[in-house]
Structure 1
Amino acid sequence: MTEAVDRAWPRTARLDAPQIIDRIADITGVRLILEGPAPGGEVGAAYVRWPDGRRSVLTEGRSRSGPLVDRARQAGIPTARHELAAHVDGARVIVQQRLPGAPPDRMDQTLVRQLLALNDRLAGLLLDVPAPKPSDLYLTADGPGFCLHQPLAEHSARSAALLARVHAVGAAYGSAMIGDDLVHFDFHPGNVLVDAGRVTGLIDWDGATRGDRHFDLVTLRFWLTGRHDELLAPIDRRLDGISRRRRDAYWAHISLRMVDWSIRHHDETTVEHWLTVAESGLDGDRPPGWAVRPLSA
Protein backbone atom coordinates (compact mmCIF):
# COMPACT_ATOMS: atom_id res chain seq x y z
CA MET A 1 0.00 0.00 0.00
CA THR A 2 1.28 3.46 -0.87
CA GLU A 3 2.24 5.48 2.16
CA ALA A 4 -0.26 8.25 2.91
CA VAL A 5 0.92 11.84 2.63
CA ASP A 6 1.48 13.41 6.07
CA ARG A 7 -0.35 16.71 5.72
CA ALA A 8 -2.60 18.66 8.06
CA TRP A 9 -5.71 19.18 5.94
CA PRO A 10 -8.29 21.73 7.09
CA ARG A 11 -10.79 20.23 9.51
CA THR A 12 -14.33 21.29 10.26
CA ALA A 13 -14.58 22.55 13.84
CA ARG A 14 -16.80 20.75 16.34
CA LEU A 15 -19.78 22.53 17.82
CA ASP A 16 -18.80 24.71 20.82
CA ALA A 17 -22.17 24.56 22.56
CA PRO A 18 -21.37 26.63 25.69
CA GLN A 19 -20.00 29.50 23.63
CA ILE A 20 -22.91 29.40 21.21
CA ILE A 21 -25.44 29.37 24.04
CA ASP A 22 -23.78 32.47 25.52
CA ARG A 23 -23.87 34.22 22.16
CA ILE A 24 -27.53 33.29 21.58
CA ALA A 25 -28.31 34.88 24.94
CA ASP A 26 -26.40 38.02 23.94
CA ILE A 27 -28.16 38.26 20.57
CA THR A 28 -31.71 37.16 21.36
CA GLY A 29 -32.03 37.47 25.12
CA VAL A 30 -32.96 33.79 25.33
CA ARG A 31 -30.88 31.83 27.85
CA LEU A 32 -30.82 28.14 26.93
CA ILE A 33 -29.61 25.56 29.43
CA LEU A 34 -27.05 23.04 28.21
CA GLU A 35 -27.95 19.45 29.08
CA GLY A 36 -25.08 17.72 27.30
CA PRO A 37 -23.83 16.48 23.93
CA ALA A 38 -26.16 14.66 21.55
CA PRO A 39 -24.87 11.31 20.25
CA GLY A 40 -23.45 10.85 16.77
CA GLY A 41 -22.80 13.46 14.12
CA GLU A 42 -19.54 14.57 12.56
CA VAL A 43 -19.71 18.21 13.66
CA GLY A 44 -21.72 17.65 16.79
CA ALA A 45 -25.00 18.67 18.37
CA ALA A 46 -26.11 19.39 21.92
CA TYR A 47 -29.23 18.84 23.98
CA VAL A 48 -30.56 22.10 25.43
CA ARG A 49 -33.53 23.16 27.52
CA TRP A 50 -35.59 26.34 27.20
CA PRO A 51 -36.47 28.42 30.28
CA ASP A 52 -40.00 26.96 30.15
CA GLY A 53 -38.63 23.41 30.32
CA ARG A 54 -38.98 22.41 26.66
CA ARG A 55 -36.11 20.21 25.47
CA SER A 56 -34.49 20.85 22.07
CA VAL A 57 -31.37 20.18 20.02
CA LEU A 58 -28.74 22.80 19.15
CA THR A 59 -26.85 22.40 15.85
CA GLU A 60 -25.05 24.43 13.26
CA GLY A 61 -26.79 24.52 9.92
CA ARG A 62 -28.65 26.45 7.28
CA SER A 63 -31.72 28.33 8.44
CA ARG A 64 -33.04 28.17 4.87
CA SER A 65 -33.49 24.41 5.21
CA GLY A 66 -36.43 25.02 7.56
CA PRO A 67 -39.11 25.26 4.82
CA LEU A 68 -37.82 22.02 3.26
CA VAL A 69 -38.00 20.28 6.63
CA ASP A 70 -41.57 21.54 7.04
CA ARG A 71 -42.50 20.22 3.60
CA ALA A 72 -41.05 16.81 4.44
CA ARG A 73 -43.05 16.73 7.66
CA GLN A 74 -46.25 17.61 5.77
CA ALA A 75 -45.54 14.59 3.56
CA GLY A 76 -45.53 12.30 6.59
CA ILE A 77 -41.80 12.18 7.31
CA PRO A 78 -40.96 12.61 11.02
CA THR A 79 -38.80 15.75 11.13
CA ALA A 80 -37.99 18.31 13.78
CA ARG A 81 -39.48 21.81 13.72
CA HIS A 82 -36.98 24.68 13.72
CA GLU A 83 -37.64 26.75 16.84
CA LEU A 84 -34.86 29.34 16.65
CA ALA A 85 -32.24 30.31 14.06
CA ALA A 86 -29.49 32.84 14.64
CA HIS A 87 -26.32 34.07 12.98
CA VAL A 88 -23.54 33.56 15.53
CA ASP A 89 -19.97 34.67 14.81
CA GLY A 90 -20.16 33.85 11.11
CA ALA A 91 -22.13 30.61 11.46
CA ARG A 92 -25.82 29.81 11.38
CA VAL A 93 -27.08 27.93 14.42
CA ILE A 94 -30.44 26.24 14.76
CA VAL A 95 -32.40 25.17 17.81
CA GLN A 96 -34.88 22.50 16.78
CA GLN A 97 -37.47 20.24 18.32
CA ARG A 98 -36.10 17.18 20.08
CA LEU A 99 -37.67 14.06 18.61
CA PRO A 100 -38.07 10.78 20.51
CA GLY A 101 -35.77 7.84 19.86
CA ALA A 102 -32.06 7.32 19.23
CA PRO A 103 -29.87 6.24 16.31
CA PRO A 104 -30.30 2.50 15.66
CA ASP A 105 -27.83 0.19 17.36
CA ARG A 106 -28.38 -2.38 14.62
CA MET A 107 -29.67 -2.44 11.06
CA ASP A 108 -32.18 -4.98 9.78
CA GLN A 109 -34.57 -5.51 6.87
CA THR A 110 -37.47 -3.96 8.77
CA LEU A 111 -35.57 -0.71 9.21
CA VAL A 112 -34.45 -0.72 5.57
CA ARG A 113 -38.07 -1.12 4.46
CA GLN A 114 -39.06 1.86 6.61
CA LEU A 115 -36.29 3.96 5.07
CA LEU A 116 -37.40 2.99 1.57
CA ALA A 117 -40.95 4.05 2.46
CA LEU A 118 -39.68 7.41 3.72
CA ASN A 119 -37.72 7.84 0.50
CA ASP A 120 -40.90 7.23 -1.51
CA ARG A 121 -42.53 10.16 0.30
CA LEU A 122 -39.86 12.52 -1.05
CA ALA A 123 -41.06 12.01 -4.64
CA GLY A 124 -42.20 15.18 -6.39
CA LEU A 125 -42.39 17.27 -3.22
CA LEU A 126 -40.93 20.32 -4.98
CA LEU A 127 -42.93 20.15 -8.21
CA ASP A 128 -44.82 23.33 -7.31
CA VAL A 129 -41.68 25.26 -6.31
CA PRO A 130 -39.79 27.33 -8.91
CA ALA A 131 -36.64 25.44 -9.84
CA PRO A 132 -33.30 27.07 -9.05
CA LYS A 133 -30.16 25.96 -10.79
CA PRO A 134 -29.52 22.20 -10.51
CA SER A 135 -27.81 20.91 -7.37
CA ASP A 136 -24.04 20.49 -7.78
CA LEU A 137 -22.45 17.12 -7.03
CA TYR A 138 -18.92 18.67 -7.00
CA LEU A 139 -17.41 16.05 -9.28
CA THR A 140 -15.17 18.54 -11.05
CA ALA A 141 -14.58 21.24 -8.39
CA ASP A 142 -14.49 21.52 -4.61
CA GLY A 143 -17.65 21.69 -2.56
CA PRO A 144 -18.24 24.23 0.25
CA GLY A 145 -16.17 22.64 3.02
CA PHE A 146 -16.75 19.07 1.85
CA CYS A 147 -16.06 17.10 -1.34
CA LEU A 148 -12.56 18.64 -1.47
CA HIS A 149 -10.44 17.18 -4.27
CA GLN A 150 -6.88 17.91 -3.21
CA PRO A 151 -6.87 15.62 -0.16
CA LEU A 152 -7.58 12.66 -2.46
CA ALA A 153 -4.97 13.84 -4.97
CA GLU A 154 -2.22 13.93 -2.33
CA HIS A 155 -3.18 11.36 0.32
CA SER A 156 -2.12 8.19 -1.52
CA ALA A 157 -1.88 6.62 -4.95
CA ARG A 158 -5.11 4.76 -4.23
CA SER A 159 -7.08 7.90 -3.34
CA ALA A 160 -5.59 9.73 -6.34
CA ALA A 161 -6.79 6.92 -8.61
CA LEU A 162 -10.28 7.23 -7.14
CA LEU A 163 -10.22 10.98 -7.74
CA ALA A 164 -9.32 10.35 -11.39
CA ARG A 165 -12.36 8.09 -11.70
CA VAL A 166 -14.58 10.74 -10.07
CA HIS A 167 -13.28 13.33 -12.54
CA ALA A 168 -13.96 10.95 -15.41
CA VAL A 169 -17.58 10.54 -14.30
CA GLY A 170 -17.93 14.31 -14.02
CA ALA A 171 -16.45 14.81 -17.48
CA ALA A 172 -18.73 12.18 -19.02
CA TYR A 173 -22.00 13.05 -17.31
CA GLY A 174 -21.63 16.50 -15.80
CA SER A 175 -21.83 17.41 -12.13
CA ALA A 176 -25.48 18.36 -11.74
CA MET A 177 -28.41 16.55 -10.13
CA ILE A 178 -31.82 17.38 -11.51
CA GLY A 179 -35.34 16.46 -10.46
CA ASP A 180 -38.37 17.65 -8.53
CA ASP A 181 -37.95 15.42 -5.48
CA LEU A 182 -36.86 16.60 -2.06
CA VAL A 183 -33.41 15.15 -1.36
CA HIS A 184 -32.17 14.79 2.23
CA PHE A 185 -28.54 14.60 0.96
CA ASP A 186 -27.15 12.71 3.98
CA PHE A 187 -29.50 9.73 4.19
CA HIS A 188 -27.78 7.15 6.38
CA PRO A 189 -28.44 5.33 9.67
CA GLY A 190 -26.66 7.95 11.79
CA ASN A 191 -29.33 10.48 10.82
CA VAL A 192 -32.24 8.20 11.71
CA LEU A 193 -33.93 7.95 15.11
CA VAL A 194 -35.79 4.79 16.13
CA ASP A 195 -37.83 3.75 19.12
CA ALA A 196 -38.89 0.11 19.63
CA GLY A 197 -37.98 -0.66 16.02
CA ARG A 198 -40.02 2.20 14.54
CA VAL A 199 -38.49 5.22 12.81
CA THR A 200 -39.35 8.29 14.89
CA GLY A 201 -37.15 10.87 13.18
CA LEU A 202 -35.08 11.71 10.14
CA ILE A 203 -32.65 14.41 11.26
CA ASP A 204 -29.84 16.63 9.93
CA TRP A 205 -31.50 18.19 6.89
CA ASP A 206 -28.75 20.81 6.59
CA GLY A 207 -27.86 19.72 3.05
CA ALA A 208 -31.45 19.24 1.86
CA THR A 209 -31.93 20.20 -1.75
CA ARG A 210 -33.98 19.69 -4.90
CA GLY A 211 -33.12 16.72 -7.08
CA ASP A 212 -33.61 12.98 -7.41
CA ARG A 213 -34.62 11.01 -4.32
CA HIS A 214 -32.64 8.01 -5.63
CA PHE A 215 -29.52 9.98 -4.69
CA ASP A 216 -30.44 9.30 -1.05
CA LEU A 217 -30.75 5.57 -1.75
CA VAL A 218 -27.27 5.54 -3.30
CA THR A 219 -25.99 7.25 -0.14
CA LEU A 220 -27.73 4.66 2.03
CA ARG A 221 -26.31 1.83 -0.09
CA PHE A 222 -22.81 3.28 0.21
CA TRP A 223 -23.04 3.34 4.00
CA LEU A 224 -24.31 -0.25 4.22
CA THR A 225 -21.87 -1.77 1.70
CA GLY A 226 -19.23 -3.96 3.32
CA ARG A 227 -20.94 -3.90 6.70
CA HIS A 228 -24.51 -4.98 5.96
CA ASP A 229 -24.36 -6.53 2.50
CA GLU A 230 -27.26 -8.80 3.44
CA LEU A 231 -29.52 -5.71 3.50
CA LEU A 232 -28.68 -4.37 0.05
CA ALA A 233 -31.08 -6.35 -2.16
CA PRO A 234 -34.21 -4.18 -1.69
CA ILE A 235 -32.19 -1.02 -2.24
CA ASP A 236 -30.65 -2.49 -5.39
CA ARG A 237 -34.08 -3.33 -6.76
CA ARG A 238 -35.01 0.36 -6.49
CA LEU A 239 -31.73 1.49 -8.04
CA ASP A 240 -32.00 -0.92 -10.96
CA GLY A 241 -34.69 1.41 -12.26
CA ILE A 242 -32.42 4.40 -12.78
CA SER A 243 -29.84 5.01 -15.48
CA ARG A 244 -26.16 4.20 -15.28
CA ARG A 245 -25.43 7.91 -15.69
CA ARG A 246 -27.30 8.75 -12.51
CA ARG A 247 -25.95 5.79 -10.53
CA ASP A 248 -22.37 6.60 -11.47
CA ALA A 249 -22.71 10.32 -10.77
CA TYR A 250 -24.34 9.77 -7.38
CA TRP A 251 -21.84 7.07 -6.39
CA ALA A 252 -18.93 9.26 -7.48
CA HIS A 253 -20.23 12.09 -5.31
CA ILE A 254 -20.63 10.05 -2.14
CA SER A 255 -17.26 8.37 -2.79
CA LEU A 256 -15.56 11.75 -3.02
CA ARG A 257 -17.40 13.10 0.00
CA MET A 258 -16.73 10.16 2.31
CA VAL A 259 -13.08 9.63 1.37
CA ASP A 260 -12.24 13.33 1.54
CA TRP A 261 -13.95 13.70 4.93
CA SER A 262 -12.22 10.60 6.29
CA ILE A 263 -8.79 11.80 5.16
CA ARG A 264 -9.32 15.09 6.97
CA HIS A 265 -11.14 13.87 10.10
CA HIS A 266 -10.57 10.15 10.70
CA ASP A 267 -7.90 7.47 10.87
CA GLU A 268 -6.32 5.44 8.08
CA THR A 269 -8.50 2.41 8.77
CA THR A 270 -11.60 4.49 8.09
CA VAL A 271 -10.07 5.95 4.94
CA GLU A 272 -9.24 2.46 3.64
CA HIS A 273 -12.76 1.22 4.38
CA TRP A 274 -14.42 3.99 2.40
CA LEU A 275 -11.91 3.63 -0.43
CA THR A 276 -12.84 -0.04 -0.70
CA VAL A 277 -16.55 0.80 -0.75
CA ALA A 278 -16.02 3.57 -3.29
CA GLU A 279 -14.01 1.35 -5.63
CA SER A 280 -16.71 -1.33 -5.58
CA GLY A 281 -19.21 0.86 -7.41
CA LEU A 282 -17.31 2.69 -10.16
CA ASP A 283 -16.10 1.90 -13.70
CA GLY A 284 -18.28 -1.13 -14.21
CA ASP A 285 -16.89 -2.92 -11.14
CA ARG A 286 -20.28 -2.76 -9.43
CA PRO A 287 -21.49 -4.79 -6.49
CA PRO A 288 -23.84 -7.70 -7.28
CA GLY A 289 -27.28 -6.53 -8.32
CA TRP A 290 -26.14 -3.39 -10.08
CA ALA A 291 -26.91 -4.18 -13.71
CA VAL A 292 -25.00 -2.17 -16.29
CA ARG A 293 -27.47 -0.19 -18.38
CA PRO A 294 -27.16 1.98 -21.51
CA LEU A 295 -25.64 5.43 -21.03
CA SER A 296 -29.01 7.17 -21.26
CA ALA A 297 -30.20 9.97 -19.01
Structure 2
Amino acid sequence: MTTHAWPQSARLDAPRVLDRIFDITGVRLVLEGPCPGGEIGAAYVSWPDGRRSVLTSARTQCGPLADRARQAGVPTARHELTARVDGVRVIVQQRLPGVPPVTLDTALVRQMLQVNDRLAGVLAGEPAPQPAPLHLTADGPGFCLHEPLRQYSDRSARLLERVRATGAASGSQMIGDDLVHMDFHAGNVLVDDGRLTGVVDWDGAVRGDRHLDLVTLRFYLGGMAPALTGPVDERLALIPARRRRAYWAHMSLRQVDWSIRHHDAATVEKWLTVAEEGMADR
Protein backbone atom coordinates (compact mmCIF):
# COMPACT_ATOMS: atom_id res chain seq x y z
CA MET A 1 0.00 0.00 0.00
CA THR A 2 1.37 3.40 -0.95
CA THR A 3 1.32 5.92 1.87
CA HIS A 4 1.97 9.63 1.92
CA ALA A 5 4.71 9.20 4.47
CA TRP A 6 6.74 11.96 5.97
CA PRO A 7 10.39 11.24 5.27
CA GLN A 8 12.73 9.50 7.66
CA SER A 9 16.40 8.73 7.16
CA ALA A 10 15.93 4.94 7.30
CA ARG A 11 13.59 2.22 8.40
CA LEU A 12 13.51 1.58 12.11
CA ASP A 13 16.08 -1.02 13.24
CA ALA A 14 13.93 -2.33 16.09
CA PRO A 15 16.41 -4.78 17.73
CA ARG A 16 19.16 -2.16 17.89
CA VAL A 17 16.73 0.48 19.18
CA LEU A 18 15.47 -1.82 21.94
CA ASP A 19 19.04 -2.52 23.04
CA ARG A 20 19.74 1.21 23.19
CA ILE A 21 16.53 1.87 25.13
CA PHE A 22 17.70 -0.68 27.69
CA ASP A 23 21.11 1.02 27.91
CA ILE A 24 19.48 4.45 28.38
CA THR A 25 16.51 3.62 30.61
CA GLY A 26 17.14 0.17 32.06
CA VAL A 27 13.80 -0.99 30.63
CA ARG A 28 14.02 -4.24 28.68
CA LEU A 29 11.33 -4.39 26.00
CA VAL A 30 10.78 -7.56 24.00
CA LEU A 31 10.33 -7.41 20.23
CA GLU A 32 7.21 -9.23 19.04
CA GLY A 33 7.35 -8.41 15.32
CA PRO A 34 6.78 -5.70 12.70
CA CYS A 35 3.56 -3.72 12.45
CA PRO A 36 1.78 -4.01 9.10
CA GLY A 37 1.97 -1.17 6.57
CA GLY A 38 3.98 2.03 6.64
CA GLU A 39 7.24 3.02 5.02
CA ILE A 40 9.50 3.84 7.98
CA GLY A 41 8.81 0.73 10.02
CA ALA A 42 7.14 0.21 13.39
CA ALA A 43 7.16 -2.81 15.65
CA TYR A 44 5.05 -4.46 18.31
CA VAL A 45 6.87 -4.76 21.64
CA SER A 46 5.99 -5.94 25.13
CA TRP A 47 6.97 -4.67 28.57
CA PRO A 48 8.31 -6.82 31.42
CA ASP A 49 4.81 -6.89 32.94
CA GLY A 50 3.34 -8.25 29.69
CA ARG A 51 1.80 -4.98 28.53
CA ARG A 52 1.91 -4.63 24.72
CA SER A 53 2.91 -1.42 22.92
CA VAL A 54 4.19 -0.09 19.60
CA LEU A 55 7.73 1.12 18.90
CA THR A 56 8.13 3.81 16.25
CA SER A 57 10.13 6.95 15.47
CA ALA A 58 9.19 10.59 15.02
CA ARG A 59 10.69 13.79 13.72
CA THR A 60 8.73 15.96 16.15
CA GLN A 61 7.43 16.02 19.70
CA CYS A 62 3.98 15.04 18.50
CA GLY A 63 2.64 13.59 21.75
CA PRO A 64 0.94 16.79 22.97
CA LEU A 65 -0.97 17.22 19.71
CA ALA A 66 -2.03 13.58 19.72
CA ASP A 67 -3.23 14.16 23.28
CA ARG A 68 -5.29 17.16 22.12
CA ALA A 69 -6.88 15.03 19.41
CA ARG A 70 -7.75 12.37 21.99
CA GLN A 71 -9.34 15.02 24.22
CA ALA A 72 -11.47 15.99 21.23
CA GLY A 73 -12.74 12.44 20.89
CA VAL A 74 -10.29 11.02 18.34
CA PRO A 75 -8.79 7.64 19.33
CA THR A 76 -5.03 8.21 19.53
CA ALA A 77 -2.22 6.41 21.35
CA ARG A 78 -0.64 7.73 24.56
CA HIS A 79 3.15 7.99 24.52
CA GLU A 80 4.54 5.70 27.23
CA LEU A 81 8.29 6.17 26.72
CA THR A 82 10.45 8.43 24.56
CA ALA A 83 14.20 8.39 24.03
CA ARG A 84 16.92 9.69 21.73
CA VAL A 85 18.70 6.83 20.01
CA ASP A 86 21.66 7.86 17.88
CA GLY A 87 20.07 11.22 17.16
CA VAL A 88 16.62 9.81 16.34
CA ARG A 89 13.56 10.33 18.55
CA VAL A 90 11.96 6.95 19.25
CA ILE A 91 8.61 6.44 20.92
CA VAL A 92 6.98 3.53 22.69
CA GLN A 93 3.27 4.19 22.57
CA GLN A 94 0.02 2.59 23.62
CA ARG A 95 -1.13 -0.24 21.38
CA LEU A 96 -4.62 0.55 20.17
CA PRO A 97 -7.08 -2.16 19.15
CA GLY A 98 -7.52 -2.94 15.48
CA VAL A 99 -5.34 -3.18 12.38
CA PRO A 100 -4.97 -1.12 9.17
CA PRO A 101 -7.95 -1.77 6.89
CA VAL A 102 -7.52 -4.43 4.23
CA THR A 103 -10.39 -3.05 2.16
CA LEU A 104 -11.95 0.39 2.00
CA ASP A 105 -15.65 1.20 2.04
CA THR A 106 -17.99 4.14 2.37
CA ALA A 107 -18.55 3.46 6.07
CA LEU A 108 -14.84 3.91 6.82
CA VAL A 109 -14.67 7.09 4.73
CA ARG A 110 -17.59 8.54 6.68
CA GLN A 111 -15.94 7.65 9.99
CA MET A 112 -12.81 9.46 8.82
CA LEU A 113 -14.94 12.50 7.98
CA GLN A 114 -16.26 12.39 11.54
CA VAL A 115 -12.69 12.37 12.84
CA ASN A 116 -11.97 15.43 10.71
CA ASP A 117 -15.00 17.22 12.17
CA ARG A 118 -13.73 16.64 15.71
CA LEU A 119 -10.48 18.46 14.92
CA ALA A 120 -12.24 21.72 14.03
CA GLY A 121 -11.09 24.62 16.24
CA VAL A 122 -9.18 22.34 18.62
CA LEU A 123 -6.29 24.83 18.90
CA ALA A 124 -8.36 28.04 18.98
CA GLY A 125 -7.34 30.46 21.70
CA GLU A 126 -3.73 29.31 21.84
CA PRO A 127 -0.81 31.48 20.69
CA ALA A 128 -0.65 31.15 16.92
CA PRO A 129 2.61 29.92 15.42
CA GLN A 130 3.85 30.91 12.00
CA PRO A 131 1.46 29.70 9.27
CA ALA A 132 2.27 26.19 8.05
CA PRO A 133 4.06 26.27 4.68
CA LEU A 134 2.70 24.31 1.71
CA HIS A 135 6.04 24.45 -0.17
CA LEU A 136 4.45 25.34 -3.50
CA THR A 137 7.15 27.78 -4.55
CA ALA A 138 10.20 26.37 -2.75
CA ASP A 139 11.41 23.01 -1.43
CA GLY A 140 10.17 21.58 1.82
CA PRO A 141 12.56 20.15 4.44
CA GLY A 142 13.25 16.75 2.88
CA PHE A 143 9.82 16.40 1.24
CA CYS A 144 7.86 18.41 -1.33
CA LEU A 145 11.08 18.75 -3.31
CA HIS A 146 10.75 20.51 -6.68
CA GLU A 147 13.79 19.28 -8.56
CA PRO A 148 12.70 15.61 -8.83
CA LEU A 149 9.56 16.72 -10.71
CA ARG A 150 11.57 19.07 -12.90
CA GLN A 151 13.95 16.32 -13.93
CA TYR A 152 11.83 13.15 -14.02
CA SER A 153 9.81 13.71 -17.20
CA ASP A 154 8.12 16.36 -19.31
CA ARG A 155 4.86 15.36 -17.66
CA SER A 156 6.11 15.86 -14.11
CA ALA A 157 7.81 19.11 -15.13
CA ARG A 158 4.50 20.45 -16.43
CA LEU A 159 2.85 19.49 -13.16
CA LEU A 160 5.53 21.37 -11.25
CA GLU A 161 4.88 24.47 -13.34
CA ARG A 162 1.21 24.30 -12.38
CA VAL A 163 2.06 23.75 -8.72
CA ARG A 164 4.35 26.77 -8.68
CA ALA A 165 1.81 28.90 -10.53
CA THR A 166 -0.84 27.90 -7.99
CA GLY A 167 1.47 28.92 -5.18
CA ALA A 168 2.08 32.30 -6.78
CA ALA A 169 -1.64 32.90 -7.36
CA SER A 170 -3.25 31.29 -4.31
CA GLY A 171 -0.55 31.51 -1.65
CA SER A 172 1.73 28.87 -0.21
CA GLN A 173 0.71 28.85 3.45
CA MET A 174 -2.06 27.29 5.54
CA ILE A 175 -3.72 29.12 8.40
CA GLY A 176 -6.46 28.17 10.85
CA ASP A 177 -7.25 26.99 14.37
CA ASP A 178 -7.86 23.34 13.55
CA LEU A 179 -5.60 20.42 14.38
CA VAL A 180 -4.29 19.02 11.10
CA HIS A 181 -2.90 15.47 10.99
CA MET A 182 -1.08 16.13 7.68
CA ASP A 183 -0.99 12.46 6.60
CA PHE A 184 -4.66 11.55 6.89
CA HIS A 185 -5.41 8.48 4.78
CA ALA A 186 -6.60 4.95 5.34
CA GLY A 187 -3.09 3.62 5.93
CA ASN A 188 -2.93 5.66 9.11
CA VAL A 189 -6.12 4.42 10.74
CA LEU A 190 -6.94 1.21 12.58
CA VAL A 191 -10.21 -0.67 12.33
CA ASP A 192 -11.81 -3.51 14.25
CA ASP A 193 -14.91 -5.21 12.81
CA GLY A 194 -15.64 -2.17 10.62
CA ARG A 195 -15.23 0.37 13.43
CA LEU A 196 -12.45 2.96 13.33
CA THR A 197 -10.46 2.36 16.52
CA GLY A 198 -7.37 4.51 16.06
CA VAL A 199 -5.65 7.28 14.13
CA VAL A 200 -1.89 6.86 14.15
CA ASP A 201 1.26 8.65 12.91
CA TRP A 202 0.77 12.20 14.21
CA ASP A 203 4.39 13.08 13.49
CA GLY A 204 3.57 15.80 10.96
CA ALA A 205 0.63 17.31 12.87
CA VAL A 206 0.32 21.11 12.82
CA ARG A 207 -2.12 23.89 13.49
CA GLY A 208 -4.01 24.96 10.38
CA ASP A 209 -7.04 24.08 8.27
CA ARG A 210 -8.46 20.58 8.73
CA HIS A 211 -9.64 20.62 5.11
CA LEU A 212 -6.08 19.91 4.04
CA ASP A 213 -6.52 16.50 5.67
CA LEU A 214 -9.62 15.97 3.53
CA VAL A 215 -7.61 16.82 0.41
CA THR A 216 -5.00 14.28 1.54
CA LEU A 217 -7.73 11.67 1.96
CA ARG A 218 -9.31 12.58 -1.38
CA PHE A 219 -5.95 12.34 -3.16
CA TYR A 220 -5.33 8.91 -1.64
CA LEU A 221 -8.79 7.65 -2.59
CA GLY A 222 -8.32 8.94 -6.13
CA GLY A 223 -5.45 6.51 -6.54
CA MET A 224 -6.67 3.61 -4.39
CA ALA A 225 -10.50 3.62 -4.38
CA PRO A 226 -11.95 6.25 -6.74
CA ALA A 227 -15.50 4.96 -6.29
CA LEU A 228 -15.42 6.20 -2.67
CA THR A 229 -14.50 9.84 -3.31
CA GLY A 230 -18.07 11.21 -3.35
CA PRO A 231 -18.52 12.04 0.36
CA VAL A 232 -15.14 13.78 0.49
CA ASP A 233 -15.87 15.79 -2.66
CA GLU A 234 -19.12 16.97 -1.09
CA ARG A 235 -17.20 18.38 1.88
CA LEU A 236 -14.48 19.98 -0.23
CA ALA A 237 -17.05 21.69 -2.45
CA LEU A 238 -17.93 23.84 0.58
CA ILE A 239 -14.54 25.56 0.89
CA PRO A 240 -13.22 28.34 -1.37
CA ALA A 241 -11.75 27.17 -4.67
CA ARG A 242 -8.56 29.09 -3.97
CA ARG A 243 -7.88 26.96 -0.90
CA ARG A 244 -8.78 23.74 -2.68
CA ARG A 245 -6.32 24.55 -5.45
CA ALA A 246 -3.51 25.30 -3.03
CA TYR A 247 -4.09 22.16 -0.98
CA TRP A 248 -4.37 19.95 -4.06
CA ALA A 249 -1.16 21.43 -5.46
CA HIS A 250 0.57 20.64 -2.16
CA MET A 251 -0.57 17.02 -2.23
CA SER A 252 0.36 16.68 -5.91
CA LEU A 253 3.88 17.92 -5.25
CA ARG A 254 4.27 15.90 -2.08
CA GLN A 255 3.09 12.54 -3.42
CA VAL A 256 4.69 12.73 -6.85
CA ASP A 257 8.03 13.87 -5.43
CA TRP A 258 7.96 11.09 -2.84
CA SER A 259 7.04 8.48 -5.45
CA ILE A 260 9.78 9.58 -7.85
CA ARG A 261 12.38 9.16 -5.13
CA HIS A 262 11.05 6.02 -3.45
CA HIS A 263 8.74 4.04 -5.75
CA ASP A 264 8.64 2.51 -9.20
CA ALA A 265 7.65 4.13 -12.49
CA ALA A 266 4.13 2.69 -12.44
CA THR A 267 3.47 4.26 -9.05
CA VAL A 268 4.78 7.62 -10.23
CA GLU A 269 2.49 7.51 -13.26
CA LYS A 270 -0.52 6.63 -11.09
CA TRP A 271 -0.02 9.60 -8.79
CA LEU A 272 0.73 11.89 -11.72
CA THR A 273 -2.65 10.93 -13.15
CA VAL A 274 -4.43 11.65 -9.85
CA ALA A 275 -2.59 14.96 -9.53
CA GLU A 276 -3.43 16.07 -13.06
CA GLU A 277 -7.10 15.14 -12.79
CA GLY A 278 -7.42 17.12 -9.59
CA MET A 279 -5.57 20.14 -10.92
CA ALA A 280 -7.91 20.18 -13.91
CA ASP A 281 -11.00 20.04 -11.69
CA ARG A 282 -9.84 22.68 -9.29
TM-score range, shorter chain: over 0.9
Residue in 2 aligned with 1:274?
Answer: 271
| TM-score in terms of structure 1 length | 0.90
* Deviating 4+ runs (over 6 angstroms): none
Tell me which of 107, 110, 133 is aligned to 1:136: 133
1:152 aligns with 2:145: no
Change (3 A) 1:227 1:162: same
Task: Map residues 88-107 of structure 1 onto 2, 5 A cutoff.
Answer: 88-107=85-104
Task: Map residues 162-177 of structure 1 onto 2, 5 A cutoff.
Answer: 162-177=159-174
- The Cα of 1:12 is off from its aligned counterpart by 3.8
Alpha-carbon distance between aligned partners in 2 of 1:118 and 1:11, rounded to the nearest angstrom: 26
SS in 2 for 1:53: coil
Alpha-carbon distance between aligned partners in 2 of 1:52 and 1:175, rounded to the nearest angstrom: 49
Tell me which of 206, 209, 216 is aligned to 1:209: 206
- The Cα of 1:63 is off from its aligned counterpart by 4.9
Residue in 1 aligned with 2:23?
Answer: 26
Percent sequence identity is: 71
- The Cα of 1:11 is off from its aligned counterpart by 8.0
What residue ranges of structure 2 are gaps of 5+ in the alignment? 1-6
| TM-score in terms of structure 2 length | 0.95
1:115 aligns with 2:115: no
What residue ranges of structure 1 are gaps of 5+ in the alignment? 1-9, 287-291, 293-297
Alpha-carbon distance between aligned partners in 1 of 2:168 and 2:184, rounded to the nearest angstrom: 26
Alpha-carbon distance between aligned partners in 2 of 1:262 and 1:11, rounded to the nearest angstrom: 14
Alpha-carbon distance between aligned partners in 1 of 2:76 and 2:224, rounded to the nearest angstrom: 27
Q: Note if contact 1:11-1:264 (Cα within 8 Å) is conserved in structure 2.
A: no
SS in 1 for 2:82: strand
- The Cα of 1:41 is off from its aligned counterpart by 0.7
1:195 aligns with 2:173: no
- The Cα of 1:170 is off from its aligned counterpart by 1.1
Change (3 A) 1:226 1:38: closer
Question: Alpha carbon RMSD of aligned pairs, Å?
Answer: 1.4
Residue type of the partner of 2:42?
Answer: A
1:182 aligns with 2:179: yes
Alpha-carbon distance between aligned partners in 1 of 2:60 and 2:256, rounded to the nearest angstrom: 27
Q: Note if contact 1:12-1:145 (Cα within 8 Å) is conserved in structure 2.
A: no
Residue in 2 aligned with 1:69?
Answer: 66
Q: Any idea what the Cα deviations from partners look like across 1:219-278, whole Å, max 9, x if unmatched?
A: 000000143222111111110111111101111111111111111111111010000001
Alpha-carbon distance between aligned partners in 2 of 1:141 and 1:15, rounded to the nearest angstrom: 29
Q: Note if contact 2:132-2:206 (Cα within 8 Å) is conserved in structure 1.
A: yes
Residue type of the partner of 1:118?
Answer: V
Change (3 A) 1:11 1:262: farther
